């Protein structure tokens, strides 16, 4: 399509102006009524011009369409944006803090960090079939983003602000998941390589002006990025991200450990009335199960439990049994009274061993605080290896639900509620969150986390019930408390959620993330278990 040559010159007469307007009219008519021809009728030059715009799955039949993935990323992008930026900031800040003293810079801070509202799109994906335990994928990525990355640097009393905008990335990454293992997420490592040098384009605003518009700077930056990225990640070089230890992921159970918590001796007073309410938590390292717990012995400094627990062992040479004694509190967090551990390699197979161990402040061998007496605990342990590599059918699975302790009412059970964490909390006046739990008129509270929009509590609450709570619900309210005088706004609600317990009773365990009501973006992760004696 050719336009009137008069369009390229400034009109200098009435005839020239008429020719210019006539050419514009011709152009409008061409756009309104375009000429459409099949690709087979196009000449080679026209095809070359169209080639970059044709989706990769059309140009190469080995590549599959990824419309479903693009739609998924489009819906998930607001959350992926926050997660990616949070991870990038977490990685970058320690590196910046380490480097800035070398250049005599006072500070470098992210004033804004968002990737914008435009997600990347994948033009196609090819999957390779190999004889190895691996999955290889090659993708065609195009991303024209509108990020807002604002970095402020202070040095010698001056402040400079740099803004990165208008990001454009074209790349062909190869993603390899290997080795494939029989433990979720079913692969141990992620390897990422680039099959060709990527195209990266962006704008850099310094003092309000685009630094990339300076003659020669754009080409230098482009070549520098391509060279540095190629040196690091151009195939066969690759970025490796370890998800799990493949050796441990492939290991199968080799035995069981029977543990009996017998008693504790001369525990220290924690309550104001001169007593304590002790219980014991037991945890096996490299085990995905939550900690196992004894019952609470109220107002007793020499409690006797005689309670037995079973653990599945995968590596007796490295695994350790950890146990901690807590003082139970009806409201607030439970106080730690002492801890210790038993390496499994110290146990002789098939020989029960009774041990009386001192309770320590921590597991640091040279800490003088461990010299203070905190009482003792008596543990009986017996490691039984499997014979002929056969796992008995009655061995507890790693995802199995623990049984309710002795003394649980017949027909009833133990409701265990674990409040893990929350994200994107936002208070109008302050954000010092804690969780208030209401169940059957009883109130429990977590600890307060100061000045944190993404707090983590990992606190557990237990309710012994005479019947299953099929028709009950739990009310969870996230509350922020003022840390100062706070006379005007001492407390405010950051959101709440009501959880019905019928699913917990039928499924035995649920672990979900809930959106908080009356909160803009707040979410809370709650795990609940219904344990019975059967």
Cβ(449)–Cβ(431) below 8 Å: no
Residue 398 has pLDDT above 80, yes or no: no
In our burial notation (b when 16+ CB lie closer than 10 A, e otherwise), range 453-487 reads bebebebbbbbebeebbeebebebbbbbbbeeeee
Instruction: Quickly list DSSP for 16-31.
Output: HHHHHHHHHHHHHHHH
Residue 437 has pLDDT above 90, yes or no: yes
Query: How far apart, in whole angstroms, are the C-alpha atoms of residue 177 and residue 184?
Result: 13
Query: How far apart, in whole angstroms, are the C-alpha atoms of residue 222 and residue 112?
Result: 24
Q: Which of 43-47, 63-67, 283-287, 475-479 has the lowest mean pLDDT?
A: 43-47
pLDDT at res. 9: 44
Instruction: Quickly list DSSP for 426-466.
Output: --SS---EEEEEEETTEEEE----TT-SS-EEEEEEEEEES
Strands in 353-358's sheet, in edge-to-edge order, are 304-313, 255-265, 376-385, 353-358
pLDDT at res. 434: 93
3-state secondary structure of 134: coil
**Mean pLDDT along residues 213-229:** 67
Cβ(376)–Cβ(359) below 8 Å: yes
100 token code pair: 């800035």
Residue 206 has pLDDT above 90, yes or no: no
Cβ(183)–Cβ(287) below 8 Å: no
* For the ranges 311-315, 405-409, 414-418, the one whose mean pLDDT is highest: 414-418
H-state helical runs in 241-320: 246-249
Higher pLDDT, 352 or 58: 352
Whole-number mean pLDDT of the chain?
79
pLDDT tens-digit readout, 354-369: 999 988 888 887 888 8
Residue 526 has pLDDT above 50, yes or no: yes
Please report which helix (H) or strand (E) contains residue 167, including its range.
strand 158-171
pLDDT at res. 4: 46
pLDDT tens-digit readout, 39-69: 666 666 665 565 555 666 565 666 788 888 8
**Mean pLDDT along residues 256-282:** 84
pLDDT tens-digit readout, 222-236: 677 667 666 667 777
**Mean pLDDT along residues 457-485:** 87
Tokens 């944190």 -> residue? 452
Residue 474 has pLDDT above 70, yes or no: yes
Terminal CA-CA length for the chain? 81
pLDDT at res. 487: 62
Cβ(116)–Cβ(141) below 8 Å: no
pLDDT tens-digit readout, 1-23: 444 444 444 444 455 555 556 66
Q: Which of 145-159, 381-395, 469-483 has the lowest mean pLDDT?
A: 381-395
H-state helical runs in 39-175: 44-50, 56-59, 67-99
Tokens 């007793």 -> residue? 300
> Quick one: which of 12, 209, 246, 237 has its CA closest to 132?
246
Radius of gyration of the chain (CA): 32
28 token code pair: 């409008």
Cβ(479)–Cβ(457) below 8 Å: no
> Quick one: which of 224, 238, 144 has its CA closest to 195?
238
**Mean pLDDT along residues 125-152:** 82
**pTM of the model as a whole:** 0.42
Strands in 509-515's sheet, in edge-to-edge order, are 456-465, 413-423, 523-531, 509-515
Query: How far apart, in whole angstroms, are the C-alpha atoms of residue 292 and residue 168?
Result: 51
**Mean pLDDT along residues 323-335:** 79
């Amino acid at each position: 399509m050719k336009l009137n040559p008069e369009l390229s010159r400034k009109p200098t007469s009435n005839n020239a102006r008429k020719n210019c307007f006539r050419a514009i009219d011709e152009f409008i008519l061409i756009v309104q009524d375009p000429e459409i021809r099949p690709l087979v009728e196009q000449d080679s030059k026209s095809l070359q011009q169209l080639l970059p715009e044709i989706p990769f799955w059309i140009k190469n039949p080995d590549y599959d369409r990824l419309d479903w993935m693009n739609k998924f990323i489009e819906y998930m992008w607001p959350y992926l944006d926050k997660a990616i930026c949070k991870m990038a900031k977490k990685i970058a800040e320690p590196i910046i803090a380490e480097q800035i003293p070398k250049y005599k810079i006072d500070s470098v801070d992210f004033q804004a960090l968002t990737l914008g509202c435009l997600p990347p799109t994948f033009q196609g994906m090819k999957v390779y079939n190999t004889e190895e335990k691996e999955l290889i994928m090659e993708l065609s990525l195009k991303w024209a983003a509108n990020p807002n990355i604002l970095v402020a640097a202070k040095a010698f009393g001056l402040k400079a602000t740099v803004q990165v905008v208008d990001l454009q990335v074209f790349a062909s990454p190869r993603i390899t998941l290997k080795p494939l293992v029989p433990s979720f997420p079913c692969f141990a490592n992620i390897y990422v390589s680039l099959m060709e040098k990527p195209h990266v384009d962006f704008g850099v605003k310094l003092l309000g002006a685009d630094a990339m518009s300076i003659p020669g700077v754009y080409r230098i930056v482009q070549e520098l990025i391509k060279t540095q990225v190629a040196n690091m990640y151009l195939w066969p070089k690759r970025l490796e991200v370890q998800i799990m230890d493949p050796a441990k992921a492939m290991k199968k159970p080799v035995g069981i450990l029977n543990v009996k918590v017998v008693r504790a001796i001369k525990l220290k007073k924690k309550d104001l009335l001169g007593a304590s309410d002790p219980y014991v938590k037991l945890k096996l390292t490299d085990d995905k199960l939550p900690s196992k717990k004894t019952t609470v012995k109220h107002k007793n400094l020499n409690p006797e439990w005689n309670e037995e627990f079973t653990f599945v062992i995968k590596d007796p040479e490295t695994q350790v049994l950890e146990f901690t004694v807590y003082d139970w509190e009806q409201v607030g967090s439970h106080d730690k009274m002492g801890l210790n551990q038993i390496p499994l390699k110290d146990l002789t197979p098939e020989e029960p061993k009774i041990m009386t161990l001192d309770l320590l402040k921590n597991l640091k061998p040279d800490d003088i605080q461990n010299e203070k007496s905190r009482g003792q605990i008596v543990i009986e342990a017996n490691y039984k290896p499997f014979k002929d590599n056969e796992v008995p059918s009655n061995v507890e699975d790693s995802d199995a639900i623990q049984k309710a302790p002795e003394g649980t009412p017949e027909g009833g059970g133990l409701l265990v509620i674990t409040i893990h964490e929350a994200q994107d909390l936002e208070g109008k006046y302050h954000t010092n969150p804690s969780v208030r739990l209401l169940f059957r008129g009883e109130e429990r509270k977590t600890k307060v986390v100061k000045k944190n929009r993404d707090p983590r509590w990992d606190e557990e609450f237990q309710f012994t019930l005479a019947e299953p709570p099929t028709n009950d619900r739990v009310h969870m309210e996230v509350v922020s408390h003022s840390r100062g005088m706070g006379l005007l706004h001492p407390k405010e609600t950051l959101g709440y959620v009501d959880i019905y317990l019928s699913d917990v009773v039928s499924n035995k365990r649920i672990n979900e993330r809930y959106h908080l009501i009356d909160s803009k973006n707040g979410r809370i992760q709650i795990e609940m278990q219904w344990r019975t004696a059967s």
